[in-house]
Amino acid sequence: MHAAPMYIAETAPTPIRGQLISLKEFFIVIGIVAGYALGSLLVDTVAGWRYMFGISSPVAVIMGIGMWWLPASPRWLLLRAIQGKGDLQNLKDTAISSLCRLQGPTFHDSASQQVDEIMAELSYIGVENEVTFVEMFRG
């Protein structure tokens, strides 16, 4: 539940990022309501909780299998490159191909520019700046 919004935030295009995260939360709530409704139908059934798990297990398996096709987050790949946990050029190329896979072939021309922007943002990680308490509440 907590990794999915972060993955969406790192991989989704800016114009639809909020919509995708809201849609994810919507489906979680729908799943909770459906589980409650099914549970209320099976409340008088002996060992009815087993049916609830049995019905939800295929969905969980499908989601687990589907996660294997998700590419790595380009931001995570580039953070590994900055931290020295791999070859810089190889990780940049992997991040570019990951962006192209996530955003479609039409973004292939701008993918290297996006990777450079992410690298510039990540280069500030670890730079310590003195921040006052009041600055935390500024826009």
- pLDDT, residue 23, reads 94
Which of 28, 43, 69 is where one domain is finished? 69
- For residues 11 and 59, state if they share a domain: yes
In this predicted structure, the answer to whether residue 128 has a pLDDT above a threshold of 70 is no
- pLDDT, residue 127, reads 63
Quote the domain boundaries for residue 54. 3-69
- For residues 131 and 81, state if they share a domain: yes
Averaged confidence pLDDT in the chain: 86
Q: Work out the pLDDT band at 126, boundaries 50, 70, 90.
A: low
- For residues 110 and 97, state if they share a domain: yes
Which of 13, 40, 69 is where one domain is finished? 69
- For residues 95 and 51, state if they share a domain: no
Which of these ranges, 46-50, 101-105, 111-115, has the smallest mean pLDDT?
A: 101-105
- For residues 24 and 60, state if they share a domain: yes
Read off the pLDDT of residues 22-45 as tens digits, 9 standing for 90 and up.
999 999 899 899 888 988 888 888
Q: How many domains does the chain have?
A: 2
pTM: 0.70
- For residues 65 and 100, state if they share a domain: no
- For residues 62 and 94, state if they share a domain: no
- For residues 34 and 52, state if they share a domain: yes
Question: What is the residue-wise DSSP string for 92-118?
Answer: HHHHHHHHHHHH-GGGHHHHHHHHHHH
- For residues 89 and 132, state if they share a domain: yes
- For residues 33 and 78, state if they share a domain: no
- pLDDT, residue 110, reads 83
- For residues 105 and 131, state if they share a domain: yes
In this predicted structure, the answer to whether residue 52 has a pLDDT above a threshold of 70 is yes
The mean pLDDT value for 61-74 works out to 91
Which of 34, 50, 69 is where one domain is finished? 69
- For residues 55 and 109, state if they share a domain: no
